[in-house]
Amino acid sequence: QENLKTDYIGKNIYFYDEVKSTNNIAKFFGESDEEEGVVIIADTQTKARGRSGKPWKSPKGGSWLSILIRPNVPPTHASLITLATGVAVCKTLRTIGVNAQIKWPNDILINDKKVSGILTEAKASFNNLDYVVVGIGIDTNLTMNDFPDELKENVTSLKDEANREIKEKKIIRIFLEEFEKFYNYFKEEDYEKILNEWRHLSKTIGSEVIIHQPLGKVIEGYAIGINKEGSLIIEKNDGSLEKIFAGELRHKGN
């Protein structure tokens, strides 16, 4: 990557034609003595994972990558890394002129359709993170034929939104530069910088939302904030506040 302007993220990049999941390879490096910043990129993945155990379609034309990092912090800080990554993806997509927004916790949308997702997997021992693998999938040059029928209404690709073929190398380069910038804020404990940027880029903050929580509970209200644990703060219709840590969110009216 001759043009990559980073200090340590992507100094080593491993390219593959086909892997099961780039996250698996990054985890393998995590278990070895590989330094932080190594990046795994694949043209296709045969067994990629999305959040909540869902499979993630990864045909040719998309950008599928994982970054290995070794932050020296307690496991509770891992969600901030995911938020920082969402900010980096969103800012990257905006550089090509599309109005990308973040949907809590970490989907990237364009015109209310998902274009990118993030899967963070961490390994901790005692109260410290050994390593974190941040997996990013961007539907860069995919077409509608690449998606299963049941998803077609809710997904899009960068190419479809920008009405042109997108240079994948360029997208990944800009993303790695943004990622390093926001991961550095994380290391410097400038958490407010990350959270403020997240709030600014998010479609969720200030919107009416419905959240289906893991145990079947449904919460409705206004999303008024996010904290550094990655929890969304909801103001319910009776005026009470609730912190939501996990769930499937829908913006009302979409």
Stretch touching ligand BTN by CB under 6 A, among 133-141, 171-179, 210-218, 222-230: 133-141
Q: Round to whole Å and give the CA distance between 67 and 120.
A: 10
Three-class secondary structure of residue 149 per DSSP:
coil
User: DSSP state, 155?
Assistant: B
Least distance from ligand BTN to the Cβ atom of residue 142, Å: 12
Position 41 contacts ligand BTN (CB under 6 A) = no
Residue type, 108: I
Least distance from ligand BTN to the Cβ atom of residue 224, Å: 24
Position 22 contacts ligand BTN (CB under 6 A) = yes
Position 175 contacts ligand BTN (CB under 6 A) = no
The smaller minimum CB distance to ligand BTN, of residues 45 and 204, is found at 45
Instruction: Tell me which residues in 50-89 interact with ligand BTN (CB under 6 A).
Output: 50-51, 54, 56, 58, 64-66
The smaller minimum CB distance to ligand BTN, of residues 51 and 181, is found at 51
User: DSSP state, 146?
Assistant: G
Least distance from ligand BTN to the Cβ atom of residue 119, Å: 4
Position 204 contacts ligand BTN (CB under 6 A) = no
Written as one string, the DSSP assignment of 29-44 is: HHHTTPPTT-EEEEEE
Stretch touching ligand BTN by CB under 6 A, among 4-12, 21-29, 146-154, 165-173: 21-29
Residue nearest to ligand BTN (CB): 117
Position 120 contacts ligand BTN (CB under 6 A) = no
Number of Cα atoms under 13 Å in the Cβ half of residue 188: 10
Position 102 contacts ligand BTN (CB under 6 A) = no
Nearest to 96 by CA among 83, 82, 108: 108
Written as one string, the DSSP assignment of 68-84 is: EE---S-GGGHHHHHHH
Question: How many contiguous H segments (helices) and E segments (strands) does the chain have?
Answer: 5, 12
Q: Round to whole Å and give the CA distance between 33 and 36.
A: 9
Q: How far apart are the first and last CA of the chain?
A: 40
The smaller minimum CB distance to ligand BTN, of residues 139 and 177, is found at 139
Binding stretches for ligand BTN (CB under 6 A): 21-23, 45, 48-51, 54, 56, 58, 64-66, 107, 117-119, 135-137
